[in-house]
Amino acid sequence: MPEVILDDDDKRAFQKAGPGAPFGVFQDFEKCDLAAYSGAWDRACQKHYSAMLESVRKYFKTALEHTTLASGKQLQAIVTEAYGPCFWPDSPKVDWEWYKRYNADALRVVAAMGLTGATLSNYGEPLFTLWNDVGWHWAGNSYFRTNAPTSRT
């Protein structure tokens, strides 16, 4: 899945949060300054937002191209992954708003592409706090169900 785009300034900001951030192992998060991690994520996401959404569009366009068989038959495409980082510390010190905004906007991009199904977040990730945001999931699923084309173009 497309990750957050980081330039050198963003990487330095994450390194101030702790070693291995943002893509360390989960044990590293116990040593991180999670408020600094959250701030670095927010700044990187805002700075590169358009490019990140374009990356989502390109990723799924390529994926859809691979669901058309040589005969021309199109397979049903269902996205079950999040649009963004899988390494996200689930802590009250980490703000979820940009993660949720990015995932929701990425879903809007994907909904216009003719996939059969899509999800806002990978339910295999340890994002337990996010699972509790029933309204966010309801809104995303409702949007996809009412805006996804019935066939790919």
The angle at the Cα of 46, spanning 40 to 49, to the nearest 5 degrees, equals: 125
Mean pLDDT of 130-143: 87
Angle in degrees, 0-180, between the axes of helices 34-47 and 8-17, rounded to the nearest 10: 160
Q: For 28-44, what is each residue's pLDDT tens digit?
A: 778 889 999 889 988 99
- The CATH classification number of 8-147 equals 3.20.20.80
Measured from the Cβ of residue 135, the count of other Cβ atoms closer than 10 Å reads 8
Contact indicator for 112, 149 with CB cutoff of 8 Å: yes
Model confidence band, residue 59 (pLDDT cutoffs 50, 70, 90): confident
